[in-house]
Amino acid sequence: MKINTNLIHNILNFLIVAVPSLEAMDWTPFFSDAVALKIVGGLALAKILINLLRDGLNGMYKHQPPVV
């Protein structure tokens, strides 16, 4: 079974934007500013690790093919 990493990246991108936005607007009392920063950092690290596992170290810097 092949994992759809593009879907995972899109979800992580949404969460990276949503978590600090919710915290900045004081819409949620679930976590503090420091915890929100740690969550966003963890999500960004997850994206990097997904890319590393999917494409390898060489895939991290080479040119990507055009999206069709």
Q: What pLDDT does residue 6 have?
A: 81
Question: What gap in Å lies between CA 12 and CA 45, rounded to an integer?
Answer: 10
pTM: 0.72
In this structure, the number of other CB atoms found within 10 A of the CB of residue 60 comes to: 10
Split at pLDDT 50, 70, 90, the class of 12 is very high
Q: What is the mean pLDDT of residues 39-46?
A: 92
What single DSSP character describes residue 17? H
Tell me which of 33 and 68 has the higher pLDDT: 33
pLDDT at residue 5, as a whole number? 79
Q: Count CB atoms within 10 A of the CB of residue 5.
A: 14
